[in-house]
Amino acid sequence: MGLFKKLATALGLSKYEARIVVVGLDNSGKTTLINNIKPKKASTFEVTPTVGFQVESFAKDNLNFTIFDMSGQSRYRELWGHYYREVQAIIFVLDCTERVRMCVAKEELDELLTHPDVSNSCTPILIFANKMDLPGALSAVDCMEQLDLQRISNKPWQIEASNALTGEGIDRGLEWLAEKLRGRK
Amino acid sequence: MLSDAGGGLSQGGGQGLGDAPLTIGGVLKEIQGLKDKFKSEDGEDEASPYHALEKATVLQECRAFNDSNVVTNNPKRCCQLITKLLHLLTQGETFTSSEVTDVFFGVTKLFQSKDHNLRRMMYLFIKEVAEATNPNDVIIVTSSLTKDMNSSEDLYRANSIRVLARIIDSAMLGAIERYVKQAINDKNAIVASSALVSGISLFNTSPDVVKRWNNEVQEALSSPNEMVQFHALALLYQAKQQDLLAVTKLVTQLTKGNTRSPLADLNAANARAAYQFLESSLRHKNEIVVYEAARAICHLPGVEMNDLSPAITVLQLFLSSPKPTLRFGAMRTLSDVAGTHPMAIVKCNEEMETLISDANRSIATLAITTLLKTGTEGSVDRLMKQISTFMNEIADEFKIIVVHAIRQLCLRYPQKHRVLVGFLATFLREEGGFDFKKAITDCIVELMSAIPDTKETSLFHLCDFIEDCEYTALSTQILHLVGALGPSTSAPARYIRFIYNRVILENAAVRAAAVSSLAKFAAKVPSLRPSITVLLKRSLADEDDEVRDRATVAIKLLASMPAAGDGEADAGGDENHQSEPVEEDALDGDAETSEAAHLMLDGLPMSFASLERAVGLYALSMQSGTAQAQPLLFSTLPVVEEHVPAPLTKGTSAASKPLAGAGGGFGGGDSRVAPTAASAPATADPTAELYKIPELAALGRVFRSTAPVPLTESETEYVVRCVKHIFDAHVVLDFSVHNTIADQMLTEASSEPELYSVVGSIPLPTLKYDQTGHCYVVLSRATEVAIEPVTFTCELHFKVVDCDPQSGEADEDAEGFPEEYPLEEVELSTSDFMAKVNVGDFRRSWEQMGPEGEVLEKFALQFRRLDEAVAGVLDFLGMQPCDGTAAIKPTGTSAGLPPPHTLHLSGVFVGSKPVLVRAQLAITQSNDTIGCVLKIAVRSDDPDVSRMVADCIR
């Protein structure tokens, strides 16, 4: 039984609309990650820095995914806020090889958490500690400490180490997400 | 503009394919459709569904965009919402920036929808609000659009390219350039067109990028789809607009390729090489192509008669076309051509005459005016009849055009003046606005001066007209004219009634004009004087000051007149009036009376502007205190030259100067200031400067100052110009020196002409960078010796002192070294001693001067054309042309030698000696050499002066 099948059954809907917004610093691997989730034929092979955002809609098994792939470049980060409303989940992608920019990531995460559309809802937040395959990458636990994730108390969150190129770790994260969504139902 | 047109076109082309790209027109249609639907649904509520929309409500509803269920399952509703938003926007509702941002981001979420209509609305919305939204926000859709550009849906691709072109900045263009380039050659016509139109709009911001698409666009040119062809050509044309050669090439290529787009030849008119192509286009199936081609041919610069004829033939056919547009187009083109090549159109006359009765008034007017231009003398009467029938039906602007056409016709066929002027007069009595009436009046007046025969009849027509003229300005103008011309007609008494009627019936301004007019009659026609005086006395009780004043002055003057005019009163002959001795020398015994009468008759002998300047100069010379006090009289006023509009040569040199200056600025670096700055500002009256220097002011009053003559190139280190001030017995050379070198200072600059009678000179103490100073050289002139043209060689002597370029202060220990700077020669010609002064009535002054001091000469000049000769003679003599004789009357026949031209000139020679010149210029031909014979008669009180003036001719 595949993951998405599980997810679909978990939600008890044959055609459930899952609207997810993906954020994270630039060059953390958001678009690549989404390419990996997408069915292979819909994926684009060449990934360039996203300008603004891209919408990916695809059906996988019995699920209609609508993923807002936001640009991570600093000049577009303030625009994320416009897309938090009425999303079922937020995915935050971290580049765990970039130790120096962890603090920037933390700032952005704080911003996200204090956003009115997010702070009062219990939208689940999934954090991918991406690029775990590269040497010198921080572990998921290190990341958690760096970002001070423990303080998040009013909503479910999870951190997963992942490799967006191979898809390693992504399934585990989505499995958790499916569970949470079912819980909210 | 183009892109809009493209939008419209693409819509037309796209309808067949079912997914038209987004255009306002399409949306309007959609709105209309929705409206109709609503109407049918709830019949009792007739109001538009978009009537009285609340902005707040709509914005609230727009939150639905955030709900993915609504977006995916209910696209209709979203469409409607966007329509509402757009409706609000177009109704002029303003959104605050936060509202726009909010809605904009809401709309961006619609990218998830797959509904075609909704997507189209979304593209449209983004395009519409793109300007209103923060550019940083708009850029957020770039990636999404780029993705759409690569999608498999043609609709998405076409529209996203259009939207992208609208929002993208040049920095981002590089990233998408590749896709647009691909799209240009897309199989789908709409996509290709969209890409091309985007190219056109992008061309404004980043032409370089678009120019790189050349190959693709060329390929698109051969597309089977007309719309794509058109857009491709439009883009190509835009890209190559600057390059005439490229356009020519393009056109030649098109000729071979035989494009099918009817609009493709819109820009072909640029090059002569296009002619072949255009001619072949004349045989095209599509009549619009044919028309465009014919029009382009007709508008080709320097087109020849032979080349025109095929185009004219085609237009002739169009004239009888059932389509009014074609008829109008053809007619308009023909009427344009008629202005330059009337003969070419003659063959269309028959068709045009039928068009006069065309239902479309514009066509009819054009036909009439064209006919008037081309018509032969015989057809004039018939035409006039036709015009009068339809004149009542057309608007004033058209009437004015007709009036101008009639004037031209009348000038061409002077014999017909009776018919034509009578015709104009009937118009004058009919209904019409001020402009129309003014056009007719001007026209009649002009004809009066051009064709003397019309004078009396025209005056009567005008008098008739002012009987019930509602326009004060026209009435006063006509009254003045009648006053000036009326007395010299065969029966001046007839006009008195007309004029006096005005005094009784009209408003104050007209009354005043009428009174002055009456006074002129009385002054010029002694037999009428007593009766007019009686009439004028009635105006003494007028309620308006001005009228009363004028009447009083007139009566007073008239009362003093009979003494002077008694002798002639008996003779009273109307032929005699011209030689009446009202204009005596102003300084004579009974100067006061005759001067005043003269004033009343002729007005001021100079324009108000020159009078003002003259009095100003007079005051200056008085202030300097050294000039002996003179009474303020016209004859003692300093001579002020008429400001003639700069002749052509001056204009071009002025135009070329800034260019040269700019070039120098680039070449020479920033240390030099372009010398144009010095020459551009109007030189403050140099004479005024002169009076400030006591030594020079002591020389008396300046008789005349010449225009500055440059003695150096305009871009040298020191720019020197010379103004010659002519005094009664002296000549002052005023050298104005401009220092253009930043780190030098000139001290003790002086200019030394090598001349026999230098009386003194005033050097310039110091001249810093970018300053202009004057140094003067005074020459004495022996008044009893005849003036001969002399040339002086001049040199500028100065000491150069190094100085600090910043502060402009001289270095302390700098001694400076003497330097000489050669200048061009200064020429003092006889014409410098001549002031251009207009006399009011040349003929009378000429008679008055008498033949005593006359000198007659005959010269053969080296001019080949009459206008050159006139300009040359004016230049030699430096005198003022009178009676408009400087302009050569255009002759009807271009073949053969032009008839001789008579030139009347007036001027005042140094020593306040008026000089008059009559010159006859004739072009002669002997043994293939064309020359010009000048017969000149110079009159002045002093034969020596006349001789000197005659000798000016070289």
| CATH number of the domain that residue B847 is part of | 3.30.310.10
Asked whether residue B526 is domain-assigned, the answer is yes
Strand A63-70, strand B790-792: pairing:
unpaired
- pLDDT for res A91: 92
Residue B96 domain flag: no
Choose the closest CB to A53 out of B68, B102, B140: B140
Q: What is the pLDDT of residue B267?
A: 43
The pLDDT value recorded for residue A93 is 92
Q: Decide: B781 and B730 in contact? Cβ < 8 Å.
A: yes
Facing residue for B143 by CB, picked from A19, A52, A83:
A52
Q: Is the pLDDT of residue A184 over 70?
A: no
Confidence (pLDDT) at A92: 92
Instruction: Give the chain A residue whose CA is nearest to the CA of B172.
Output: A51
Instruction: Give the domain CATH number at B798.
Output: 2.60.40.1480
Q: Is the distance from CB of A145 to CB of A109 less than 8 angstroms?
A: no
Q: E strands along B659-727, which residues?
A: 702-705, 709-710, 718-727
pLDDT of B756 over the 70 cut:
no
Highest mean pLDDT among B36-45, B49-58, B645-654, B894-903: B49-58
In DSSP notation, B318-381 reads HHT-S-HHHHHHHHHHHHHHHHH-HHHHGGGHHHHHHHTT-SSHHHHHHHHHHHHHH--GGGHH
Contact A79, A51 (CB under 8 A): no
Three-class SS of residue B772? Answer: strand
Residue B379 CA to residue B213 CA, distance in Å, equals 59
Q: What is the pLDDT of residue B57?
A: 79
Number of structural domains in chain B: 3
Nearest to B144 among A55, A76, A86 (CB): A55
> Chain A residues with CB inside 8 Å of B66's CB?
85-86
Q: How far is B173 from chain A (nearest CA, A)?
A: 12
A24 carries a ligand binding annotation? yes
Spatial separation of the C-alpha atoms in residues B186 and B768, rounded to whole Å: 68
* pLDDT value at B651 more than 50: no
The model's pLDDT over B153-168, given as tens digits with 9 standing for 90+, comes to 777 888 888 887 777 7
Q: Are residues B793 and B930 in the same domain?
A: no
CB contacts, 8 Å: A57 with chain B: 112, 114
Domain-terminating residue out of B828, B856, B881: B828
- The pLDDT confidence band at residue A41, using thresholds 50, 70 and 90, is low
Residue A158 known to be catalytic: no
Per-residue confidence band for B643, with pLDDT thresholds at 50, 70 and 90? very low
B562 plus B697 within the same structural domain: no
- DSSP annotation of A163 reads B
Nearest to A75 among B66, B136, B146 (CB): B136
pLDDT at site B677: 33
Residue B856, C-beta contacts closer than 8 angstroms, at least 6 positions apart: B935, B936, B937, B938
Q: What is the mean pLDDT of residues A33-50?
A: 72
Q: What is the 8-class DSSP label of residue B892?
A: S
Distance from CA of A53 to the nearest CA of B (A): 6
| Per-range mean pLDDT, top range of A151-165, B264-278, B400-414, B543-557 | A151-165
What mean pLDDT do residues B397-422 have?
72
- B939, containing H or E segment: strand B929-940
Q: How far is B136 from chain A (nearest CA, A)?
A: 8
Same-domain pairing of B789 and B914 = no
The verdict on A176 touching B (C-beta cutoff 8 Å) is no
Residues B598-627: pLDDT tens digits? Answer: 555 555 555 566 667 667 766 666 665 544
pLDDT at B752: 55
Highest average pLDDT, of A161-175, B92-106, B363-377, B852-866, comes from A161-175
Is A109 annotated to bind a ligand? Reply is: no
Q: Is the pLDDT of residue B263 over 70?
A: no
Q: Are residue B523 and residue B598 in the same domain, yes or no?
A: yes
Amino acid (1-letter code) at residue B677: A
Q: Residues B548, B667: one domain?
A: no
> Does B674 reside within a domain?
yes
Residue B658 confidence (pLDDT): 35
Its sign, for the CA torsion B388, B394, B396, B399, is: negative
Task: Give pLDDT, residue A62.
Answer: 62
Please check whether residues B723 and B662 belong to one and the same domain: yes
Mean pLDDT, chain B, rounded, equals 67
Tokens in use for B342?
């009337």
Candidate from A17, A75, A86 with C-beta closest to B66: A86
Q: How far apart are CA B830 and CA B856, in angstroms?
A: 18
Q: How many CB atoms lie within 10 A of CB B256?
A: 8
Domain end call among B765, B799, B828:
B828
Q: Chain A, 113-172: which have a CB under 8 Å from a chain B CB?
A: none
Give the pLDDT score at B877.
Answer: 77
Q: Which of A135-144, B47-56, B382-391, B478-487 is modeled with the greatest confidence?
A: A135-144
Q: Please indicate if the annotation marks A50 as binding a ligand.
A: yes
Residue B39 pLDDT greater than 70, yes or no: no
Q: Specify if B199 maps to a domain.
A: no
Strands A16-24 and A63-70, sheet pairing: parallel
Q: DSSP letter at B723?
A: E
The more confidently predicted of residues B375 and B23 is: B375
In a domain, B769, yes or no: yes
**Distance between CA atoms of B144 and A69, rounded to whole angstroms?**
10
Structural domain that includes position B865:
832-950
Interface of B with A (CB under 8 A): 66-69, 72, 101-102, 105, 108-109, 111-112, 114, 136-137, 139-144, 146-147, 172, 175
Q: Are residues B733 and B843 in the same domain?
A: no
Over residues B521-530, the pLDDT tens digits come to: 777 777 777 7
Higher pLDDT, B280 or B455: B455
User: Taking residues B641-648, what's their average pLDDT?
Assistant: 38
Euclidean distance between CA atoms B365 and B360, whole angstroms: 9
Q: Quick check: B691 and B621 in contact, CB under 8 A?
A: yes
Domain A3-184 = CATH 3.40.50.300: yes
pLDDT of A141-170, one tens digit each? 888 888 888 888 888 888 988 888 888 888
Angle between helix axes B493-505 and B472-485 (nearest 10 degrees) is 150
Q: For the whole model, what pTM was predicted?
A: 0.39
Residue B560 has pLDDT above 60, yes or no: yes
> A5 CB near a chain B CB, below 8 Å?
no
Taking the Cβ of residue A54 and every Cβ of chain B, the question of whether any pair is shorter than 8 Å is answered with yes
Across the interface, do B140 and A54 touch by the CB < 8 Å criterion?
A: no
CA distance A142 to B811: 74
Contact B112 A79 (CB under 8 A): no
Residue B533 scores a pLDDT above 70:
yes
Lowest-confidence range among A1-10, B175-184, B777-786, B792-801? A1-10
Distance to chain B for A54, nearest Cα, Å: 5
| Contact criterion met (CB < 8 Å) for A19 and B108 | no
Residues 6+ positions from B112 with CB-CB distance below 8 Å: A19, A55, A57, A66, B68, B71, B72
Q: Which is the catalytic residue, given A73, A88, A146, A158?
A: A73
Residue B120 in domain? no
- Final residue of a structural domain among B789, B808, B828: B828
Asked whether residue B842 is domain-assigned, the answer is: yes
Residue B296's pLDDT is: 64
Highest mean pLDDT among B50-59, B116-125, B413-422, B514-523: B116-125
CB contact under 8 Å between B137 and A19, yes or no, is no
Q: Which residues of A touch B146 (CB under 8 A)?
A: 51
pLDDT tens column, B196-212: 888 877 877 777 777 77
**Is the CB of residue A59 less than 8 Å away from at least one CB of chain B?**
no
Same domain, B801 and B653: yes
pLDDT at B673: 33
Strands lying side by side in the sheet with B764-767: B764-767, B744-753, B794-802, B817-822
Shortest CA distance to B713 belongs to which of B743, B685, B738, B748?
B738
Q: Do B598 and B656 reside in the same domain of the chain?
A: no
Asked if A46 has any chain B CB less than 8 Å from its own CB, the reply is: no
- Do B803 and B837 share a domain, yes or no? no
Q: Which of B864, B842, B813 is nearest to B916 (CA)?
A: B842
What digits encode the pLDDT tens for the residues B212-248?
A: 787 787 777 777 766 677 677 767 766 665 555 555 5
DSSP letter at B18 equals: S
Q: Quick one: pLDDT at residue B291? A: 66
Tens-place pLDDT, residues A63-120: 677 888 888 888 788 888 888 887 888 999 998 888 888 888 888 888 888 888 888 8
Residues B821 and B705 in one domain: yes
Say if B450 falls within a structural domain. Answer: no
pLDDT tier for residue B570 given thresholds of 50, 70 and 90: very low
- Residue of chain B whose Cα is closest to the Cα of A82: B105
Residues B866 and B944 in one domain: yes
